[in-house]
């Protein structure tokens, strides 16, 4: 029902004729009402009894929470992590200006400090700080190895956490059950709103 409703919105079949803006009524059965903590209620609705189903790959294969903005995703992610047992492992990026930008005479040197670079958040780009636990489900944000099923949107379960590499098991798509190692990867955002070319 929810997927069909989203498709109808995308196709312009909901909200009547519009010039790019429309008022859309959300169906009653899709709303979380009268809640003092809607994020916890959403997590419980999507992942009921998550700790009882922790080791069932099908449980995570059939469920996911998508968020429209990074700050909403971050809050949901932190809540989910607090539910899962085990120790957290923190990974921090090493950020710098792309070498091609260093020859730019108009480059403001104050933009090159680690604090500024680490604080940059861009769409479809990982934050400076990544926290993981063994057993948690994660989603790839980039194509890593399409032949092996490691594509943007592929869902994975964290198997082990190393210093420079993580081991994952695929839990969606045509390669379910396959295990892979994901190393450190250098990324450059394509967000046109950024005035500098960041390398993370």
User: Quick one: 106 and 158 in the same domain?
Assistant: yes
Determine whether 132 is exposed, middle or buried from the number of CB atoms within 10 Å of its CB (0-12, 13-18, 19+): middle
CA–CA separation, 156 and 151 (whole Å) = 11
Shared domain check, 13 and 50: no
Where residue 153 falls (left for φ over 0; alpha for ψ -120 to 50; beta otherwise) is left
Q: Are residues 27 and 38 in the same domain?
A: no
22 with 110, same domain: the answer is: no
The per-residue pLDDT for 33 is 80
DSSP class of 27: P
Which segments of the chain have a pLDDT < 50?
none
Same domain? For 118 and 151 the reply is yes
Number of independent structural domains in the chain: 2
123 and 159 share one domain: yes
Coil, helix or strand for 110? helix
* pLDDT (0 to 100) of residue 102: 54
Per-position b or e across 68-84, b if 16+ CB within 10 A of its CB: eeeeeeeebbeebeeeb
pTM score of the predicted model: 0.75
61/111 same-domain check: yes
Tell how far CA 32 is from the center of its chain. Answer: 22
pLDDT of the residue at 156: 92
What's the rounded Cα separation, in Å, for the pair 181 and 175?
14
pLDDT at 30: 78
The whole-number pLDDT of residue 149 equals: 93
Give yes or no: residues 61 and 104 share one domain.
yes
For residue 106, the model assigns a pLDDT of 63
pLDDT of residue 107: 63
Both 168 and 106 in one domain: the answer is yes
Answer yes or no: do 62 and 150 share one domain.
yes
Chain-centre distance of CA 81, in angstroms?
13
The domain of 14 spans: 1-31
Residues 115 and 67 placed together within one structural domain of the fold: yes
**Are residues 6 and 50 both part of a single domain?**
no
């Amino acid at each position: 029902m929810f997927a069909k409703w989203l498709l109808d919105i995308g196709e312009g079949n909901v909200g009547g004729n519009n010039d790019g803006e429309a008022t859309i009524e959300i169906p009653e059965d899709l709303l979380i009402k009268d809640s003092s903590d809607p994020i916890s209620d959403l997590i419980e609705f999507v992942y009921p009894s998550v700790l009882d189903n922790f080791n069932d790959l099908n449980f995570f294969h059939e469920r996911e929470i998508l968020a429209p903005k990074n700050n909403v995703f971050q809050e949901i992610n932190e809540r989910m992590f607090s539910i899962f047992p085990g120790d957290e492992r923190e990974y921090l990026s090493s950020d710098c200006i792309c070498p091609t930008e260093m020859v730019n005479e108009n480059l403001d040197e104050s933009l090159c400090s680690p604090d500024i670079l680490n604080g940059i958040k861009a769409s479809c780009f990982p934050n400076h700080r990544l926290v993981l636990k063994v057993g948690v489900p994660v989603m790839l944000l980039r194509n890593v190895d399409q032949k092996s099923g490691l594509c943007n949107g592929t869902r994975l379960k964290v198997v082990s956490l190393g210093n420079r590499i993580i081991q994952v098991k695929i839990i969606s798509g045509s390669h379910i059950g396959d295990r892979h190692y994901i190393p450190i990867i250098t990324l450059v955002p394509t967000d046109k709103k950024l005035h500098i070319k960041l390398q993370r």
